[in-house]
Amino acid sequence: MAVSVFYSQHDCLIDAVNPTFNGDGYFDVGVVRVGGAKTFQYNELQMFDLNAPDSGPTPPASITVESAELWGLVNTALGVASTYNLNRLDDPHAAYIDSEATWTNWKNANAWSVGGGDIATPPATVSYAHPSTTGDQLVIAGLGPLVLDALASRAGLLRVVHQQNPIVGSPDSSTYVLNIGGPGTATNCRLILTWHDPSLDIPNIDHPQASTMLGARPPSGSRPASAGAPSPPARPQHPTRRQP
């Protein structure tokens, strides 16, 4: 069993209320309302490079995933009733430029098909609950299908978008925002992948033969002839005793 850890490479918040805003280096997802109006509506773009683990071995595409979890240092967790969806970003817009992406564009002068990031399935949407406390913790479990899809079909690049679902519409003054530290350090978002490679598994042998220095031990009751040893001489026949 192997454990590989990947820190997020690109964290970028984008805002429906301020559609030209680029929040490169920040992780925020959720809605802020003041006086009945939305002040912010954040989606979060995120990328993990599965070809470059920060610790542990590089997983091949042939792996079996035991667990795949997103951990992070939760700085703000307001509005514990919120729920969120995590989806794969659709190609070709998945290759967003983190320093240029906005609610409107995935890079300068190139629009998303749908504002806020183009999502795609399969793999299926992963839903997760708003953390009820702050601190370093497990935020999302069950990312195995997204990991396998990235390894098999996305050149090892796992690109996703976080969205609040449903968008909170009340009360009039409310904050439902999840904030996690930005990319690049041990306290930030990190994917912890536990896996093994079936191609390296030792096959099951129902009736193994014990080995000797000369090879496999022969079955019980048989004695192999020594290589090159002469055959024993024939046993002489005794003459027949004469009857008196």
Q: What is the pLDDT of residues 78-130, one digit of tens each?
A: 776 788 999 999 999 999 999 999 999 999 999 999 999 999 999 999 999 88
> Are 143 and 85 contacting, i.e. CB atoms less than 8 angstroms apart?
no
Q: Would you list the domain boundaries of the chain?
A: 2-200
Asked if pLDDT for residue 244 goes beyond 50, the answer is no
Looking at per-residue pLDDT, the higher value among 82 and 187 belongs to 82
Residue 14 token pair: 């984008």
Between CA 45 and CA 47 the distance in angstroms is 7
Average pLDDT for the chain:
84
Query: Locate tokens 């079955």: which residue?
Result: 219
Residue 235 confidence (pLDDT): 57
Q: How many CA atoms lie within 13 A of 59 on its CB side?
A: 36
Between CA 45 and CA 26 the distance in angstroms is 10
* Beta partners for residue 163, in sequence order: 85
Residue 182 confidence (pLDDT): 60
- Residue type present at position 73: L
Asked if pLDDT for residue 226 goes beyond 90, the answer is no
Closest CA relative to residue 76, chosen from 120, 14, 141, 134: 134
pLDDT tier, 174 (very low <50, low <70, confident <90, very high otherwise): low
pLDDT tier, 242 (very low <50, low <70, confident <90, very high otherwise): very low
Asked if pLDDT for residue 41 goes beyond 60, the answer is yes
For residue 146, the tally of other CB atoms under 10 A from its CB is 25
Question: What percentage of the chain exceeds 90 in pLDDT?
Answer: 54
Q: In this structure, what are the phi and psi dihedrals at residue 46, rounded to the nearest 5 degrees?
A: -150, 145
CA 8 to chain centre: 12
> Are 27 and 12 contacting, i.e. CB atoms less than 8 angstroms apart?
no
- Residue type present at position 204: N
Residue 45 confidence (pLDDT): 96
- Cα-based angle 46, 49, 52 (whole degrees, multiple of 5): 145
